[in-house]
Amino acid sequence: MLKIESTHINNLGPLRKAFLCPLFVLFGVYIALAQEIPDDFKEKAARLVELMPKTYLSLDTELKEEKQDTTLLRYFANLARENSYLEGEAYALDQIGTKYRNISQFKKAADLHERALELSERANNTELKVLSLNMLGVVYRRTDAIKTALDYNQQALEIAEQVENPSHHIKRSINVSLNSIGNLYQTLEQYDLAIMQFKRALKLEEELGNKLGLAINHQNIGDCLEQKGDLEGALENYRKSLAYNEEIGSDYGRVICKNSLAKVYLKQDMPYAALVLLEPLHKESKEIGDFFITSSIFINTGWAYTKVNEFDKAKTFIEEGLEMAQNHNMPSNVVLGYQKLSDLQRKRGNFEEAYTYFKKASESEKEISSATNLRYMNDVIVRYEAEKKNNQISVLAKENEIVRLRLKKNQTTLLVSALIVGLVASILYILYRQYQNKNEKRVLSLEQNMLRSQMNPHFLFNSLNSIKLYIINNEQKNAVHYLNKFSKLVRKILEASSQREITLAEELETVELYMNIENIRFSNEIDFKITVDENLCPSNIKIPSLALQPFLENSLWHGLSPKEGKKMIHLNVKRKNQNHVSIEIEDNGVGRGAAEANKENRVLKRKSVGIRITKERLANFSKDYQNKFDVDIVDLFNTDGSPKGTRVILDIPTI
């Protein structure tokens, strides 16, 4: 879906302030407008205010024909306000706000949706509250205020999913939230995550039979695939979206889809096919009033004329689209306009002008990227802190459960001891021992889960600190590169942390990503290599999740960090015998002796428990196998007896 990217209301924050109260200005022309309101609508409005229906469906059914007319909606909102009909006023304000949003008047739209949210909360109406939150999320998303938009959409999704026996409108609101969250991932160029959200929403829209929702989600998926370079996949989804828009008669949707199709044709070097779609859209898009879409259409038209060597026409269309984008503060279209003017001048042979426009495009793109990434980092850090607190609460809960089980075990012991007599004593003792063993296994399982919960926040904290340093030092390029790597690693850690064991192939992918990130912090001076025996299939070998990372971290920070010169870590996987796979992690660090000395010389000492925890997890993991695990740490020396590194050997049972 075409998205509007600007920042002119990014700093508004929560708009639920006292300045919203002067809605008398909005309805100040009520007396004049009342004379233009048809009598039949006045009667309908009066009847609705008298009956005061509470559900969205009731209001939407009654006002379906009039909700496109902002004059009639303002009349109804004013009448509802005069009669303290909170739901009616909230519904009308949300509909008016949507109209303002679609013509790029985002400040007015946000004010109206905030007022509607306040009224919905006073009325304690969940349906209308969720509607207002979602609409605010859409407004802020279109202005590229990512953190604020995400807060509103997640709050709407959380409230909607807690409703028992949800209505049709609540189900639709869940889909709107999913779609909006997907668009936020799309803005951050996390296209796979965005597609995942859109497909989830698509499935729910199919269940509801909502063709508008199907059209929107196919359009969004098409845009993600286009950005990934899958032009055929993009065309397929754009055409599906266009078919649904044709079926429901949506002029707005048709314009968006045709513009998207034309853009793909231009990328496929089919300018005449693009012009066939674009030229009729000039008038249609202006009638709709969405300047973002109109600006994009005019720039794309100029792009097409550039390709067919009609340079004067191309210049006229691109400049008109660029002017629209500048006047309405749409940075992404400003970048596109400068890029196409640069391409045009280069094709005409005006290389100096082409370079000037290229520099303007680069500067504008850099401003967008910097602002987006800084907002995203703030969001990641806030959510990391929340996750860290949740993990701490989980650890405390598990500790309480351990204490409760131990107390229960002691109570049972006293009770059984009191009842033991004669021959019955032997039987009760056997039963008690079975019960005790079961409890001990459960306690062990809880302790292992607790250790794993403690490990993940520490692991994430190191990486987040590095990203923060890049931002503080204003190293934007490194921050963006590091952030892309880090987001992939976070996803893998979250997936792995919920599983007791994963395949060796998945573990190797995770540690390779981890080492890539750590290598950035070491200025890419570490030679890291993974070698897997050709006779092994890592996808068929199981290993505890995140088992190798503590050993790699130990090599990095104790072995290689204090070392000068060439640094290397090699990870070798080979078959030891029929019962075991051997994983060797070898570094050329300073050795354990020097590392221990360095550690003792530090003012601040931190006791590392990562390897001990991993050994305990490996011990528990091997209980399900006939053979045991083994961990061996070998010091390596040169011929003259000087240390040349360390080798860690893990023997993982396979049978």
Of 150, 168, 160, 81, nearest to 122 by C-alpha is 81
Within a 10 A sphere around the Cβ of 535, how many other Cβ atoms?
A: 7
Extents of the domains making up the chain: 1-165, 367-498, 520-655
Q: What is the mean pLDDT of residues 80-101?
A: 92
Contact between 520 and 485 under an 8 Å Cβ cutoff? The reply is: yes
β pairing state of 567-575 and 526-532: parallel
d(CA 500, CA 504): 13
Strand-pairing partners, residue 575, are 581
228-271 pLDDT per residue, tens = 999 999 999 999 999 999 999 998 999 999 999 999 999 999 99
Per-residue tokens: 600: 């003792």
Of 143, 106, 135, nearest to 371 by C-alpha is 143
pLDDT of residue 221: 94
Residue percentage of the chain with pLDDT more than 90: 31
Higher model confidence: residue 392 or residue 12? 392
First and final C-alpha spacing in the chain: 51
Distance of alpha carbon 313 from the chain centroid: 41
Confidence band, pLDDT 50/70/90 cuts, at residue 448: low
Strand-pairing partners, residue 353, are none
- 1-165 and 520-655 have identical folds: no
194-222 pLDDT per residue, tens = 898 898 888 888 888 888 889 999 999 99
Q: What is the mean pLDDT of residues 167-183?
A: 84
Residues 6+ apart with CB under 8 A from 201: 175, 178, 179, 182, 213, 217
Residues 6+ apart with CB under 8 A from 314: 302, 303, 304, 305, 306, 340, 344
185-195 pLDDT per residue, tens = 887 788 998 89
Contact between 240 and 218 under an 8 Å Cβ cutoff? The reply is: yes
Instruction: Check the CA dihedral 491-493-495-498 and report its sign.
Output: negative
d(CA 329, CA 314): 22
Give 29-34's long-range contacts (Cβ < 8 A, gap of 24+): 30/74, 30/75, 30/78, 33/71, 33/74, 33/75, 34/75
What is the 3-state secondary structure of 192-246?
Answer: HHHHHHHHHHHHHHHHHCCHHHHHHHHHHHHHHHHHHCCHHHHHHHHHHHHHHHH
Contact between 524 and 515 under an 8 Å Cβ cutoff? The reply is: no
d(CA 73, CA 16): 22
Q: For residue 620, is pLDDT > 90? A: no
d(CA 250, CA 311): 34
Residue percentage of the chain with pLDDT more than 70: 84
d(CA 379, CA 381): 6
pLDDT of residue 639: 87
d(CA 311, CA 306): 6
For the domain spanning 520-655, the CATH number is: 3.30.565.10
pLDDT of residue 426: 76
d(CA 267, CA 225): 13
pLDDT of residue 434: 78
CATH assignment of 1-165, among 1.10.3470, 3.30.70, 1.25.40, 1.10.10? 1.25.40
| Average pLDDT over all residues of the chain | 81
Q: For residue 8, is pLDDT > 70? A: no
